[in-house]
Amino acid sequence: MPLPPLFNPSNDMALAANLRQYSPPKRIQQMEADLAALAQLWTDGPWGWSLATKRRYQQMGVSAELLPSDEWLAEVRRLSSREFACRYLHDLLRKLDDGRLLGHAMAYHTELDGMGEGVQIYKSPWSSSGRGVFTSAHLTEEQVRTRLEGFLRTQGAYVSDRYYADKTLDFALEFWVHADHRVEFLGYSVFHTEGSGAYGYNLVSSQEQLRALIDFDPALLARLIEYHQGHLGQTAYHGPVGIDLLRTSQSLHPVVEINFRMNMGILAILLYNMYGANATVQLTPLRPGGFEARIAAGRLEIVYAG
Protein backbone atom coordinates (compact mmCIF):
# COMPACT_ATOMS: atom_id res chain seq x y z
CA MET A 1 0.00 0.00 0.00
CA PRO A 2 1.57 3.34 -1.03
CA LEU A 3 1.99 6.14 1.45
CA PRO A 4 0.01 9.34 0.85
CA PRO A 5 2.25 11.81 -1.02
CA LEU A 6 3.40 14.74 1.10
CA PHE A 7 5.02 18.02 0.05
CA ASN A 8 7.32 18.88 2.98
CA PRO A 9 10.32 20.87 1.67
CA SER A 10 11.07 21.96 5.24
CA ASN A 11 12.43 18.45 5.75
CA ASP A 12 16.08 19.56 5.46
CA MET A 13 15.45 21.89 8.38
CA ALA A 14 13.80 19.02 10.27
CA LEU A 15 16.88 16.89 9.64
CA ALA A 16 19.05 19.60 11.16
CA ALA A 17 16.81 19.83 14.22
CA ASN A 18 16.56 16.01 14.48
CA LEU A 19 13.33 16.27 16.49
CA ARG A 20 10.09 14.33 16.19
CA GLN A 21 8.08 17.43 17.04
CA TYR A 22 9.54 19.97 14.65
CA SER A 23 7.65 23.04 13.46
CA PRO A 24 9.22 25.05 10.63
CA PRO A 25 9.04 28.87 10.58
CA LYS A 26 5.57 30.21 9.84
CA ARG A 27 6.49 31.37 6.33
CA ILE A 28 7.69 27.85 5.45
CA GLN A 29 4.52 26.38 6.97
CA GLN A 30 2.52 28.69 4.71
CA MET A 31 4.54 27.64 1.66
CA GLU A 32 3.93 23.96 2.38
CA ALA A 33 0.21 24.56 2.87
CA ASP A 34 -0.14 26.74 -0.24
CA LEU A 35 1.77 24.26 -2.44
CA ALA A 36 0.37 21.04 -0.98
CA ALA A 37 -1.18 20.14 -4.35
CA LEU A 38 2.30 19.55 -5.78
CA ALA A 39 2.37 16.23 -3.90
CA GLN A 40 -0.21 14.88 -6.36
CA LEU A 41 2.49 14.92 -9.06
CA TRP A 42 4.22 11.87 -7.61
CA THR A 43 2.58 8.68 -6.44
CA ASP A 44 4.08 7.67 -3.11
CA GLY A 45 5.62 9.11 0.02
CA PRO A 46 7.00 12.43 1.19
CA TRP A 47 9.28 15.02 -0.34
CA GLY A 48 11.84 14.00 2.28
CA TRP A 49 12.21 11.70 5.28
CA SER A 50 13.04 12.63 8.89
CA LEU A 51 11.79 11.83 12.38
CA ALA A 52 9.32 14.69 11.98
CA THR A 53 8.01 13.25 8.69
CA LYS A 54 7.46 9.86 10.31
CA ARG A 55 5.50 11.52 13.12
CA ARG A 56 3.30 13.37 10.61
CA TYR A 57 2.39 10.07 8.99
CA GLN A 58 1.69 8.55 12.40
CA GLN A 59 -0.65 11.45 13.16
CA MET A 60 -2.37 10.76 9.82
CA GLY A 61 -3.09 7.24 11.04
CA VAL A 62 -0.65 5.44 8.73
CA SER A 63 0.16 1.94 9.94
CA ALA A 64 3.55 1.49 11.62
CA GLU A 65 4.34 -1.37 9.21
CA LEU A 66 4.40 1.10 6.34
CA LEU A 67 6.82 3.51 8.02
CA PRO A 68 10.63 3.32 8.14
CA SER A 69 12.55 2.51 11.30
CA ASP A 70 14.26 5.21 13.35
CA GLU A 71 17.58 3.55 12.45
CA TRP A 72 16.88 3.98 8.73
CA LEU A 73 15.91 7.60 9.32
CA ALA A 74 19.19 8.18 11.18
CA GLU A 75 21.01 6.86 8.10
CA VAL A 76 19.04 9.21 5.83
CA ARG A 77 20.07 12.10 8.08
CA ARG A 78 23.74 11.06 7.85
CA LEU A 79 23.60 10.74 4.09
CA SER A 80 21.81 14.10 3.76
CA SER A 81 24.57 15.95 5.60
CA ARG A 82 27.08 17.89 3.54
CA GLU A 83 29.76 16.01 5.46
CA PHE A 84 28.76 12.91 3.49
CA ALA A 85 28.71 14.92 0.24
CA CYS A 86 32.27 16.14 0.89
CA ARG A 87 33.58 12.63 1.48
CA TYR A 88 31.68 11.27 -1.49
CA LEU A 89 33.08 14.03 -3.73
CA HIS A 90 36.69 13.47 -2.73
CA ASP A 91 36.37 9.71 -3.20
CA LEU A 92 34.99 10.35 -6.67
CA LEU A 93 37.80 12.76 -7.56
CA ARG A 94 40.42 10.20 -6.51
CA LYS A 95 38.82 7.33 -8.39
CA LEU A 96 37.93 9.12 -11.64
CA ASP A 97 41.11 11.27 -11.70
CA ASP A 98 40.11 13.59 -14.54
CA GLY A 99 41.74 17.02 -14.77
CA ARG A 100 38.46 18.59 -15.90
CA LEU A 101 36.78 17.81 -12.56
CA LEU A 102 36.66 20.56 -9.94
CA GLY A 103 35.84 20.49 -6.25
CA HIS A 104 39.16 19.74 -4.58
CA ALA A 105 38.71 22.85 -2.40
CA MET A 106 35.39 21.69 -0.94
CA ALA A 107 35.91 20.89 2.76
CA TYR A 108 33.99 20.10 5.95
CA HIS A 109 34.94 21.95 9.13
CA THR A 110 34.04 21.43 12.79
CA GLU A 111 36.12 24.42 13.93
CA LEU A 112 36.55 27.97 12.71
CA ASP A 113 39.53 27.08 10.54
CA GLY A 114 38.25 27.37 6.99
CA MET A 115 38.04 31.03 6.03
CA GLY A 116 39.87 30.37 2.75
CA GLU A 117 41.41 32.74 0.22
CA GLY A 118 39.42 34.65 -2.35
CA VAL A 119 35.64 34.53 -2.53
CA GLN A 120 34.26 31.46 -0.78
CA ILE A 121 30.83 29.88 -0.47
CA TYR A 122 29.84 28.56 2.96
CA LYS A 123 27.03 26.16 3.83
CA SER A 124 25.56 24.66 6.97
CA PRO A 125 25.50 20.83 7.10
CA TRP A 126 21.73 20.63 6.50
CA SER A 127 19.81 23.21 4.46
CA SER A 128 18.20 23.60 1.05
CA SER A 129 17.05 26.08 -1.60
CA GLY A 130 19.72 28.60 -0.63
CA ARG A 131 18.90 28.71 3.09
CA GLY A 132 21.99 28.19 5.24
CA VAL A 133 24.21 29.25 2.33
CA PHE A 134 26.18 32.47 1.83
CA THR A 135 29.22 33.78 -0.01
CA SER A 136 32.00 35.91 1.39
CA ALA A 137 31.61 38.44 -1.43
CA HIS A 138 30.90 41.92 -0.04
CA LEU A 139 31.30 40.70 3.56
CA THR A 140 34.04 41.65 5.98
CA GLU A 141 36.12 38.93 7.61
CA GLU A 142 34.33 39.64 10.87
CA GLN A 143 30.90 39.24 9.24
CA VAL A 144 31.96 35.90 7.74
CA ARG A 145 33.31 34.78 11.10
CA THR A 146 30.06 35.70 12.85
CA ARG A 147 27.97 33.70 10.39
CA LEU A 148 30.25 30.68 10.60
CA GLU A 149 30.13 30.81 14.38
CA GLY A 150 26.34 30.63 14.00
CA PHE A 151 26.64 27.46 11.87
CA LEU A 152 28.99 25.92 14.45
CA ARG A 153 26.67 26.85 17.29
CA THR A 154 23.49 25.50 15.69
CA GLN A 155 24.74 22.57 13.60
CA GLY A 156 28.27 21.91 14.81
CA ALA A 157 30.04 22.33 11.48
CA TYR A 158 30.08 24.03 8.09
CA VAL A 159 31.29 23.42 4.53
CA SER A 160 33.51 25.74 2.54
CA ASP A 161 34.20 25.74 -1.18
CA ARG A 162 35.54 28.06 -3.82
CA TYR A 163 32.89 30.39 -5.24
CA TYR A 164 32.87 29.76 -8.99
CA ALA A 165 32.25 33.17 -10.50
CA ASP A 166 33.03 31.62 -13.91
CA LYS A 167 30.11 29.19 -13.64
CA THR A 168 28.14 28.86 -16.87
CA LEU A 169 25.42 26.38 -15.84
CA ASP A 170 23.80 24.58 -12.90
CA PHE A 171 22.46 21.11 -13.61
CA ALA A 172 21.77 17.81 -11.90
CA LEU A 173 21.77 14.08 -12.40
CA GLU A 174 18.53 12.53 -11.14
CA PHE A 175 18.28 8.95 -9.86
CA TRP A 176 15.92 6.53 -8.16
CA VAL A 177 17.45 4.00 -5.77
CA HIS A 178 15.22 0.93 -5.59
CA ALA A 179 14.78 -1.25 -2.52
CA ASP A 180 16.85 -4.00 -4.18
CA HIS A 181 19.76 -1.46 -4.49
CA ARG A 182 19.32 -1.09 -8.23
CA VAL A 183 19.97 2.55 -9.20
CA GLU A 184 17.93 3.93 -12.08
CA PHE A 185 19.09 7.07 -13.89
CA LEU A 186 16.00 9.21 -14.43
CA GLY A 187 17.64 11.93 -16.49
CA TYR A 188 19.23 15.37 -16.42
CA SER A 189 17.74 18.54 -15.00
CA VAL A 190 18.89 22.11 -15.58
CA PHE A 191 18.16 24.82 -13.05
CA HIS A 192 18.97 28.43 -12.23
CA THR A 193 20.12 29.80 -8.88
CA GLU A 194 20.50 33.38 -7.76
CA GLY A 195 23.94 34.74 -6.83
CA SER A 196 23.16 34.01 -3.17
CA GLY A 197 22.52 30.37 -3.96
CA ALA A 198 18.73 30.66 -3.64
CA TYR A 199 16.68 28.50 -6.00
CA GLY A 200 15.31 30.26 -9.05
CA TYR A 201 13.68 27.81 -11.47
CA ASN A 202 14.04 24.52 -13.34
CA LEU A 203 13.69 24.12 -17.07
CA VAL A 204 10.86 21.84 -18.18
CA SER A 205 12.29 20.48 -21.40
CA SER A 206 13.26 17.31 -23.24
CA GLN A 207 16.34 15.36 -22.31
CA GLU A 208 17.79 16.10 -25.74
CA GLN A 209 17.41 19.84 -25.21
CA LEU A 210 18.85 19.63 -21.68
CA ARG A 211 21.87 17.65 -22.87
CA ALA A 212 22.45 20.27 -25.56
CA LEU A 213 22.43 23.00 -22.89
CA ILE A 214 24.83 21.06 -20.66
CA ASP A 215 27.12 20.70 -23.70
CA PHE A 216 29.92 18.76 -22.02
CA ASP A 217 31.85 15.64 -22.95
CA PRO A 218 29.19 12.90 -23.01
CA ALA A 219 31.79 10.25 -22.20
CA LEU A 220 32.67 11.98 -18.91
CA LEU A 221 28.99 12.46 -18.06
CA ALA A 222 28.41 8.75 -18.73
CA ARG A 223 31.30 7.87 -16.40
CA LEU A 224 29.79 10.03 -13.67
CA ILE A 225 26.37 8.43 -14.07
CA GLU A 226 27.92 4.95 -13.95
CA TYR A 227 29.93 5.91 -10.85
CA HIS A 228 26.82 7.10 -9.02
CA GLN A 229 24.87 4.01 -10.02
CA GLY A 230 27.64 1.88 -8.55
CA HIS A 231 27.90 3.82 -5.28
CA LEU A 232 24.42 5.10 -4.39
CA GLY A 233 23.15 1.53 -4.38
CA GLN A 234 25.66 0.61 -1.69
CA THR A 235 23.78 2.70 0.88
CA ALA A 236 20.75 1.60 2.90
CA TYR A 237 18.70 4.40 1.31
CA HIS A 238 16.01 3.85 -1.28
CA GLY A 239 14.06 6.58 -3.01
CA PRO A 240 14.79 9.67 -5.14
CA VAL A 241 18.27 11.23 -5.27
CA GLY A 242 19.49 14.34 -7.06
CA ILE A 243 23.17 15.22 -7.46
CA ASP A 244 23.84 18.87 -8.34
CA LEU A 245 26.74 19.85 -10.58
CA LEU A 246 28.05 23.08 -12.03
CA ARG A 247 30.02 23.64 -15.17
CA THR A 248 32.46 26.28 -16.27
CA SER A 249 33.66 26.74 -19.82
CA GLN A 250 36.14 23.85 -19.53
CA SER A 251 35.37 21.99 -16.29
CA LEU A 252 32.73 20.33 -14.09
CA HIS A 253 32.20 20.37 -10.35
CA PRO A 254 30.66 16.87 -10.10
CA VAL A 255 29.13 16.95 -6.59
CA VAL A 256 28.00 20.38 -5.41
CA GLU A 257 25.11 18.84 -3.44
CA ILE A 258 23.53 15.42 -2.93
CA ASN A 259 19.81 15.48 -2.16
CA PHE A 260 18.48 12.21 -0.76
CA ARG A 261 14.86 13.22 -1.37
CA MET A 262 12.45 14.36 -4.01
CA ASN A 263 13.59 17.56 -5.71
CA MET A 264 12.57 20.13 -8.29
CA GLY A 265 14.66 18.45 -10.99
CA ILE A 266 12.72 15.19 -10.76
CA LEU A 267 9.52 17.23 -10.64
CA ALA A 268 10.59 18.98 -13.86
CA ILE A 269 11.14 15.60 -15.56
CA LEU A 270 7.66 14.45 -14.48
CA LEU A 271 6.11 17.72 -15.68
CA TYR A 272 7.79 17.49 -19.09
CA ASN A 273 6.29 14.02 -19.50
CA MET A 274 2.88 15.51 -18.65
CA TYR A 275 2.94 18.83 -20.52
CA GLY A 276 5.88 18.85 -22.93
CA ALA A 277 8.26 21.73 -23.60
CA ASN A 278 7.46 25.47 -23.46
CA ALA A 279 4.25 24.87 -21.52
CA THR A 280 2.53 27.43 -19.31
CA VAL A 281 0.54 25.74 -16.54
CA GLN A 282 -0.74 26.88 -13.14
CA LEU A 283 0.19 23.93 -10.89
CA THR A 284 -1.32 25.17 -7.62
CA PRO A 285 -4.19 27.58 -6.91
CA LEU A 286 -3.56 31.31 -7.33
CA ARG A 287 -2.66 32.67 -3.90
CA PRO A 288 -2.77 36.45 -3.46
CA GLY A 289 -0.56 36.99 -0.45
CA GLY A 290 0.78 33.44 -0.71
CA PHE A 291 2.90 30.97 -2.68
CA GLU A 292 2.18 29.58 -6.13
CA ALA A 293 3.83 26.93 -8.28
CA ARG A 294 3.60 27.20 -12.05
CA ILE A 295 5.27 26.43 -15.32
CA ALA A 296 5.81 29.71 -17.15
CA ALA A 297 6.98 29.25 -20.75
CA GLY A 298 8.89 26.11 -19.84
CA ARG A 299 10.21 27.28 -16.47
CA LEU A 300 9.11 25.57 -13.26
CA GLU A 301 8.83 28.35 -10.67
CA ILE A 302 7.72 28.82 -7.08
CA VAL A 303 6.75 32.43 -6.52
CA TYR A 304 5.39 34.48 -3.66
CA ALA A 305 2.46 36.61 -4.79
CA GLY A 306 2.69 39.34 -2.17
Q: What is the pLDDT of residue 127?
A: 86
Q: Phi, psi (5° rounding) for residue 137?
A: -60, 135
pLDDT value at residue 131 = 76
Instruction: With respect to residue 2, please indicate whether it lies within any of the assigned structural domains.
Output: no
User: Do residue 42 and residue 66 come from a single domain?
Assistant: yes
Q: Are residues 131 and 241 in the same domain?
A: no
| Number of separate domains in the chain | 3
* The predicted structure's pLDDT at residue 197: 64
Cα separation, 295 vs 25, in Å, equals 26
**Domain-located, residue 100:** no
Same-domain check for residues 28 and 128: no
What's the pLDDT at 12?
A: 95
Asked whether residue 88 is domain-assigned, the answer is no
Give pTM, 2 decimals. Answer: 0.95
The pLDDT value given to residue 205: 98
Within this chain, do residues 174 and 296 fall inside the same structural domain, yes or no?
Answer: yes
4: in domain: no
In a shared domain, residues 179 and 275 = yes
Query: Same domain for 31 and 56?
Result: yes
pLDDT of residue 128: 73
Question: Is 2 exposed, middle or buried, given 0-12, 13-18 or 19+ CB atoms closer than 10 A?
Answer: exposed
Residue 91 belongs to some domain of the structure: no
pLDDT in the model for residue 43:
83
| Residue numbers of the domain that contains 290 | 165-305
pLDDT at 118: 85
Same domain, 137 and 158: yes
pLDDT of residue 130: 65
Is residue 188 domain-shared with residue 225, that is, in the same domain? Answer: yes
Same domain, 145 and 250: no
The CATH number that applies at residue 256 is: 3.30.470.20
**Can you spell out the DSSP letters for the chain?**
-PPPPB--TTHHHHHHHT-SS----HHHHHHHHHTGGGGGGSSSSBSS--HHHHHHHHHTT--GGGS--HHHHHHHHHHHSHHHHHHHHHHHHHHH--TTB--TT-EEESSS----SSSEEEE-SS--TTTTEEE-TT--HHHHHHHHHHHHHHHS-EEEEE--TT--EEEEEEEEE-TTS-EEEEEEEEEEE-TTS-EEEEE---HHHHHHHH-S-HHHHHHHHHHHHHHHTTSS--EEEEEEEEE-SS-EEEEEEEE-S--HHHHHHHHHHHH-TT--EE-S---TTEEEEEEETTEEEEEEE-
Residue 179 belongs to a domain: yes
Asked if residue 119 and residue 53 are part of one domain, the reply reads no
In terms of domains, do 174 and 294 share one?
yes
Between the alpha carbon of residue 179 and those of residues 18, 232, 258, 275, the distances in Å are 24, 12, 19, 29
In tens digits, the chain (306 residues) has pLDDT values of: 689 999 999 999 999 999 999 999 999 999 999 999 999 999 889 999 999 999 999 999 999 999 999 999 999 999 999 999 999 999 999 999 999 999 999 999 999 986 777 899 999 999 876 678 999 999 999 999 999 999 999 999 999 999 999 999 999 999 999 999 999 999 999 999 876 667 889 999 999 999 999 999 999 999 999 999 999 999 999 999 999 999 999 999 999 999 999 999 999 999 999 999 999 999 999 988 999 999 999 999 999 987
Q: Of 140, 162, 184, which residue is a domain's last? A: 162
Within a domain: residue 274? yes
Please indicate, yes or no, if residue 133 is contained in any of the structural domains: yes
Whether residue 180 sits in one domain with residue 270: yes
